[in-house]
Homo-oligomer: A and B are copies of this chain.
Amino acid sequence: MGIVLGPNQYGKAENRLVRIYRDGPRHEIRDLNVSTSLRGDFADAHLAGDQSAVLPTDTQRNTVFAFAKEHGVGPIEDYGLTLARHFVADVEPVHGARVEIEEYAWDRIDDHDHAFVRRGQEIRTVAVTLDGDDGGRAYVVSGLKDLTVLKSTGSEFRGFLHDRYTTLAETTDRILATSLEVRWLHIGEPEAWDVSYASVRGLLLDRFAQVHSKALQQTLWEMGKAVLEAHAGIAEIRLTAPNKHHFAVDLAPFELDNPNEVFFAADRPYGVISASVVREGAQEAGLAWSAGA
């Protein structure tokens, strides 16, 4: 049996691009971290060290910055699509491209024209995958991560399976805390990416707050279901949530009670719950979800 080259790709990761719009006194800012990756006819680069089909990662970086001027930076979904389509259409050996972008949000300081303060911890994300061998369809997976939320009550965990190694006590009232990482695959393009994003984010927060949680699994399902019900243009949503344990401290040695008032927030280990919610009949997703090998 022979030994052969398998799937491969290459690109430039973490291009930190800040785009200022300053056509009038009131500036706008888009603050991005852009990673590009290409697939195509690159076997010779591996097998023979022949770079004639390889567009340097340095060129990919240049393209990221040049396109920010040539085409502007609007919603990251649009910007990612523009980059991916360029690489596949304009660079002959390239058959597929993946563009992953993180966006960091800023608020104005007291409504100032050009002074800003970073907003929140969460990061908006997109992964655009364009596979020229797959009829040229572009997959757009929008998302967010590092959205840290906590409920101080309204969460229970009981009735679970026991085996020889089970010592956990049941509870009808605990802190539920997590740092959400959520991604959703679009069927087509919504009317406005930014509006769509704000709506999904709002639904996720609303369900987290409103649903009385019998388990983090249930909360994730309710969050995902709400998003798919409200957005016919979303085919699937994937949610991953660490269960950031908050343990009520035993204060009995100090003759103090602790009716869920004093907690120790633990680092490791932590639970991890992952679930997807899918629209039946949605078409296959190709490489949309994964950066591949």
Residues in chain A within 8 A of chain B (CB atoms):
1-22, 27, 29, 31, 35, 37, 42, 45-59, 61-63, 65-66, 68-70, 90-91, 93, 106, 109-110, 112, 114-121, 147-154, 157-168, 175, 205-206, 208-210, 213-215, 217-218, 220-221, 225, 228-229, 236, 238, 242-243, 246, 249, 251, 253-254, 256-282, 289-290, 292-293
Say how many copies of this protein the assembly contains.
4
For A282, list chain B residues within 8 Å (CB). 1
B27 lies within 8 A of A152 (CB): yes
The 6 A-B pairs with the shortest beta carbon distances in the complex, nearest first, are A49-B214, A6-B276, A115-B209, A46-B221, A51-B160, A118-B148
| Complex Cα gap A160–B220 (Å) | 47
Distance in angstroms from A34 CB to nearest chain B CB is 8
With a cutoff of 8 Å between Cβ atoms, the chain B residues found around residue A275 in the complex are 5-8, 46, 293
Q: Kindly identify which residue among B56, B209, B260, B290 contacts A20, using a CB–CB cutoff of 8 Å.
A: B260
**Contact A12-B262, Cβ < 8 Å, known A120-B119, A208-B115:** no
* Distance in angstroms between the alpha carbons of A220 and B46 in the assembled complex: 8
A270 interface neighbour in B13, B27, B246, Cβ under 8 Å: B13
